[in-house]
Each structure stands twice: as C-alpha cells, then as structure tokens.
Structure 1
Amino acid sequence: MSSDWRVVTVEDIAAPYPTALATGPFGSAISSKYFVNSGVPVIRGSNLSAKISTRLIDDGLVFLSPEKAEEFQRSMVKRGDLVFTCWGTIKLWTELVARLATAAPQIKPQKPWPQHWLNNTIGRAGFNLNPTASYRDDRLGVEVYIHHAESKKMYQTLLAQRTSIEQALGFDLDWQELPDAHACRIATWRQDSPIEDEAQWGAYLDWFVQRIVKMNAVFRPVIQALA
C-alpha cells in the first residue's frame, strides 16, 4: 500500500456523539400510511445509487411529517454523515437474476437495487414474491409480500388455506399479519446464512431458486383466484 494511504475503520471516522453509528430502518419498514406530500424525506434503497459520483437519486422521494420522523431520530442522516447501503446485495441479486433466467425463465424479477430485497411480481397487483437478505440476522428469505388495498382480507383468505398451501409446498411458512402495518407477509427462511460468506453463495442461490420456483407455482394460481 502506498505511504499516501492509511487504513481506518468506520469507528475511526465516526462523529464522537453516541448515535454516530446508526442503522436503518429501511424505508420499506415504515408503513406507507405515514407518507405525506412534504416534510422529512425518507431515504430508501431506490434513492441510493451504485455510482460513486451520484450521491442521491431524488426521484420518487417519500416524506414523513416532522412529528412522525421524531420517532426515528436515531436514524436521522445529518450533514457530513456517511450512508452505507447493502452493496453486497447488488451482486447477490444480480447473480440470482442470472440464475433464474436459466433455471426458471418464466420468473422475471425487476432490476436489482442496493436494498435487502429483490422485487419480483407474482401475477397480480398488490402482491410480490420477493427474495430477501438480512445482514443483521444472517438470514435469507423468500416472502409473499401483500400490499394490496385489502391486504388484511387477502391475508386471511390465504391463511384459511394454510394447510393445503404448506402441503403443496412441502415446507412450513412463517405467517405474519403485521397488525401495526398495512402490509402482510408469508415467508420461508434460511437461517445462519451470512451474506458476507461468498463461498456459500452457490448454496444460497440454489436455495433461492428452489424456493422461488416452488412458491411461484403454488401461490400464483391461489392469489389470482382471490376474490
């Protein structure tokens, strides 16, 4: 390494106050019912660019009222702060899209973004079948994410079919109504799966493809038939 360079850690360059190193929440973790037309902007994955020269993509910003934003004060970004996003997931999602194009061309996820999930449709507005990756929990997931106008009704209708759905899948699901949010989630998890361990990515991608293909085959006709 050149003598003009020196090695530092995040702690070395963090501001001295106690909350200088903060995490999240992801913008998607804040219910859309709190979004307003103006106020305090929420930085989501789609507002962060993979290009070093682009600091922030301001198209599609959403806002919270100042009062609501106070609830997330520890995660406020201040002038001069460094914002780190899930850079590793861009590569992971890019490889997953390529793997699906070969193994399951009927499944066409959207363009990968630096966020903890990959958008993927499942044949009906208000529903997604998204792979997810959590750095904090060392956990991968595939979830049916329900953000329909009548999400709670749709969730309950699916929940009534839980036994037949899980029998068709061959594995159990984590059913989350999320009573304090508009959306609902039905997920399968792969625990003890740190994203940093790229030596395991082959196994991770195999798992993602298997679960996405199976859940797409089982859930798609059921979701399309919902009244």
Structure 2
Amino acid sequence: MDWNVSRIREHNLRSVWENEERDFTRWLTENIGLLASELGIEIEDTRAEEAVGDFSADIVAREMNTGETVVIENQYGKTDHDHLGKLLTYSSGKNAGFTMWLAEEFRPEHRSVLEWLNETGPKGVKFFAIKPRVVSIEGSEERGFEFEVVVEPNEWERGVSDGSFTDTEQSYRQFFVEMVDAYSQRRPNWYKLKPGPRNYLTFSAGISGVRFGWVFHQGPEFSVELYISTSNKERNEEVFEALKREQTRIEENLGVELEWERLPQKQACRIKRPEEINGTITELTADQREYLVEWGVNAMDEFQEDFEPRLSALGSN
C-alpha cells in the first residue's frame, strides 16, 4: 500500500500575527474558548492589557466554575527572565488562581520554575506553560493552529489521592467526571471540562455571564439550569424577561414546567429544571447516581437544544 503522508511544518507566530500585543493578544482575547477547551475549563470576562499597578497584564479573565482570576502573559520567541518577572508580578497583583505563560519556546530553567511553583507555591494557584503553534502540511500554504501544554499543575489530579478532598468533595468530583464523559458521548463536539470538588459544573451558553449548569441543591435536588449572571443587573433581568415571554412555548417544547427565579438577593436570575433525589451526594446508591447521570444528560441535551438559539438571538441584539 502506498502511504501518502506529508511532513508537518511549524511557522513562527509572526507569520500570522505580525505584532504580539496588537494582533496575537487581541486574537486570543476574542478566541479564548480555544485555549479554555484545551485545558478543560471555562474562561469568560476576558480583558486585554489590564492595569496591574504601573504595569498592564496581557490578558486577565475569570474561570467560570471556580470564579478564580486567570492571568495570561504572551511572549514571542524564547522565554526570558523579564517575562517571568512580569508573569509573577501580574499573578500576585491579581491574586490569580490560574497563571498561564504562552511562548514559542520555553527555556528548561523556566519550565523548572513553573513546575517548582506548582509543587511548592501558594496553595490553589495553578501555573501553566503553553506553546501556541502555527503549522502547515508540507507543500500547502494553509495554516493551522494548536496549543501544546508544556507544564500543567500536578494538583489537576492531586486531592483525591492525597486525601485533601473530603468524602463529599470527592463524590461531587467523581459524579461530574461521569457526567462529562456521558455528555461528551451525547454531544461529541462539546469539549470535556475538568470537574472540581464542587456541587456544580457549568459551561458557557454563548453569552458572557450566562451559563448552563448541572447543580446539586438543598432539598435535596439535582437540577439542570440556565444561570444568568452578567456584571450588569439590568442586563440579567433583560435576558430573563425576554426568555420568560417565551415560557409557554419553551415548556411545551421540553414537556415540563420549569422554575423561573429572579434571585434579587444575588442580582442574578435562574431558570431550572429540578429533579428530587433521595439524599445527599454521599448517600446516593450506585444505581441512583447512574440514573442521575442519564437524567442529567437527557435533560441538558434538551435544555441546550431549546435555549441556545434563543440566547444567540438575544446576544446579537
């Protein structure tokens, strides 16, 4: 058999984005979902060139599921001490939970610094070294793009093995690992998130500050919901009211009555489909957990199918 295989060629970032600050940082800000999906997290509220004292960080954002600040420092070429100093200054100044250094080439000593910080640095702070790559197939002028994760925090998987999670936290994390795997099979183009030890898991609904989620509530109950929590209270109510005007049609499409909650004490709004459960996450049997995963996949699939086009129309207004 004649295997027709071509070599991959790598190009510097300037071949696509001439200027790091004006072109690449702006592009990354507008396409932050590509980086988020590579890491299995959700990033929103992305701001470029945000002030940190007398300096400005390339990108500052927020991780949706934890609420932690994300700081990103971009660098063309090979890493240097100047950018390492900036990275640490911005991370400290913003009290970042996620600190990301993007560069075309990482010196071994700088990789070692980030690995050391992940091992011995402040608890809960996660450091990443990420190589953005522009590639093409030999003989083709078409360019492709990908992220290569060079360094990531060990605590991505720590916690469960070292006992730092409680039984409840471990149960939440394991449940949502199963949910993510099941929902990824239902929707192959939906990218896998990395569940944490929390009672919820959310992902973007296409508008900044608006997200779909699976949530365990007191009651006890488990729900599929749309949580509307932009930084603007009036915008939250505007989105909520626009959807509520379609309540009859939405509930007919889904075949269930939903709970429409304005949540004035939180300046947010929520639309949810709850399912009563027989106990807390640690009290559920294996069969009950399996049922909830199946219910959560089906309910979210229908929820997303109905709400996404409505939100898309609102986002364009």
Secondary structure class of the residue paired with 2:202: coil
The residue that corresponds to 2:195 in the other structure is: 112
Note closer, same or farther for the CA distance 1:104–1:210 as it changes in structure 2 (3 Å cut): same
Count of residue pairs brought into register by the alignment: 159
Alignment partner of 1:127 is 2:214: no
CA contact (8 A) 1:139 1:189 kept: yes
The alpha-carbon deviation at position 170 of structure 1 amounts to 1.0
Check if 1:187 corresponds to 2:272: yes
Which residue is equivalent to 2:124?
Answer: 57
Q: Percentage identity across aligned positions?
A: 24
Cα deviation, residue 58, structure 1? 4.9
Structure 2: how far apart are the matches of 1:55 and 1:138?
35
TM-score by length of 2: 0.45
Greater strand content: 2
Q: Can you list the C-alpha shifts for 1:117-149, whole angstroms capped at 9, x where unaligned?
A: 102122222211100123x43210111001123
Displacement of 1:179 in angstroms is 1.4
RMSD (Å), alpha carbons:
2.9
Q: 1:217/1:193 Cα in 2 relative to 1: closer, same or farther (>3 Å)?
A: farther
User: 2:298 aligned with 1:210, yes or no?
Assistant: yes
Which position in structure 1 is the counterpart of 2:224?
142
TM-score of the two chains, using structure 1 as the length reference: 0.62
Choose 210-219 or 198-207, whichever is displaced more.
198-207
- Give the corresponding residue for 1:159: 244
2:172 to 68, 74, 89: 89
Q: Tell me by how many angstroms 1:108 deviates.
A: 3.2
**What amino acid maps onto 1:186 in structure 2?**
I
Deviation digits for residues 76-131 of structure 1 (CA, Å, limit 9, x no counterpart): xxxxxx99563211000001001111122233353211111102122222211100
* Matched residue type, 1:201: R
Encode CA deviations 1:154-189: one digit per residue, 9 max, x unaligned: 111111111111111111100001112221100011
- 2:307 corresponds, among 208, 219, 227, to 219
CA 92–156 in structure 1, closer or farther in 2 if over 3 Å, else same? same
Which 5+ residue runs of structure 1 have no aligned equivalent? Answer: 1-43, 60-81
Tell me, in whole angstroms, the C-alpha distance in 2 between the residues paired with 1:128 and 1:109: 15
2:227 aligned partner, one-letter code: Y
Structure 1 CA distance for aligned equivalents of residues 285 and 122 of structure 2: 27
Partners in 2 of 1:91 and 1:46 — Cα distance?
21
Residue aligning to 1:9 = none
Q: Which has the larger radius of gyration?
A: 2
Structure 1 stretches of 4+ moved >4 Å? 44-48, 82-85
| Aligned twin of 1:175 | 260
Query: Any stretches of 5+ residues in structure 2 without a counterpart?
Result: 1-64, 69-96, 98-119, 127-163
Other-structure match for 1:77:
none
1:24-45 deviation line (CA, Å, top 9, x unaligned): xxxxxxxxxxxxxxxxxxxx96
Change (3 A) 1:213 1:56: same
Q: Separation in 2 of the partners of 1:110 and 1:83?
A: 19
Structure 1 pair 184–109 and aligned structure 2 pair: CA distance change class (3 A):
farther
The whole-number CA distance in structure 1 between the counterparts of 2:122 and 2:276 is 33
